[in-house]
């Protein structure tokens, strides 16, 4: 490969990694770095909970593949209003996690999709294992603390494994 064509290849890659601005192409959804099972395991360990097979796992629904109306119908009962836009949320009655996967959102809030999934898994564990009511403000602060596990990739990589 010539020097110039190598440069073009690098540039093409750089452009591919940027969110499409005005190209008219759909923006590629952001992806998880870790397997959801690993994230759930890590969250459970952090919350001192042992996952039990008889407790149904939540369904994960990504914004890019789920109509807004489905999210609105699901969350309206819990929030007692119908939000006009998507949000990350755990819907207790349906045992569903709704996750935004628009990369621009994650750039703006400087967070990863893994952190957001860890946060919603924390709410799932609060409800199904700790008998918590999500209306309790401590649920939100605890979930924010747990999601930090996935803010640092090196910690996140080993977070699900038993220690010692
Ligand atoms: Zn929350």
Hey, how many other C-beta atoms are within 10 angstroms of the C-beta on 111?
Answer: 16
Q: How many whole angstroms from 116 Cα to the centroid of ligand 1?
A: 9
Counting residues of the chain whose pLDDT is more than 70, the rounded percentage is 81
- CA–CA separation, 98 vs 84, rounded Å? 15
Q: How many whole angstroms from 40 Cα to the centroid of ligand 1?
A: 15
Q: How many whole angstroms from 120 Cα to the centroid of ligand 1?
A: 6
How high does pLDDT run on average in the chain? 87
What residues does each domain of the chain span? 29-158
pLDDT of residue 160: 67
CB of 78 closer than 8 Å to CB of 92: yes
Q: How many whole angstroms from 123 Cα to the centroid of ligand 1?
A: 7
Q: How many whole angstroms from 149 Cα to the centroid of ligand 1?
A: 15
Structure tokens at 110: 């400087």
pLDDT of residue 163: 47
Q: How many whole angstroms from 121 Cα to the centroid of ligand 1?
A: 9
The DSSP code sequence of 33-88 is SS-HHHHHHHHHHHTT----TTSPPPEEEEGGGS-HHHHHHHHHHHHSS--SS---
Residue-wise pLDDT tens digits, 31-88: 999 999 999 999 999 999 999 999 999 999 999 999 999 999 999 999 999 999 999 9
Q: Which residues 6+ apart lie within 8 Å of 102 measured at CB?
A: 27, 29, 30, 63, 64
Q: How many whole angstroms from 9 Cα to the centroid of ligand 1?
A: 41
């Amino acid at each position: 490969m010539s020097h110039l064509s190598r440069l073009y290849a690098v540039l093409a890659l750089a452009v591919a990694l940027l969110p499409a601005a005005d190209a008219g192409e759909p923006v590629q959804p952001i992806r998880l770095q870790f397997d959801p099972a690993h994230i759930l395991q890590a969250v459970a360990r952090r919350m001192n909970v042992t996952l039990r097979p008889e407790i149904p796992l939540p369904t994960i629904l990504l914004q890019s593949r789920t109509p807004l109306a489905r999210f609105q119908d699901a969350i309206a009962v819990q929030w007692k209003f119908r939000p006009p836009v998507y949000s990350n949320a755990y819907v207790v009655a349906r045992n569903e996690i709704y996750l935004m996967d628009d990369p621009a959102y994650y750039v703006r809030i400087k967070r990863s999709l893994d952190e957001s999934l860890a946060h919603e898994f924390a709410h799932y564990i609060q409800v199904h294992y700790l008998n918590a009511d999500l209306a309790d403000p401590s649920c939100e602060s605890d979930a924010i603390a747990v999601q930090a596990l996935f803010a640092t990739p090196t910690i996140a990589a080993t977070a699900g494994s038993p220690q010692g």
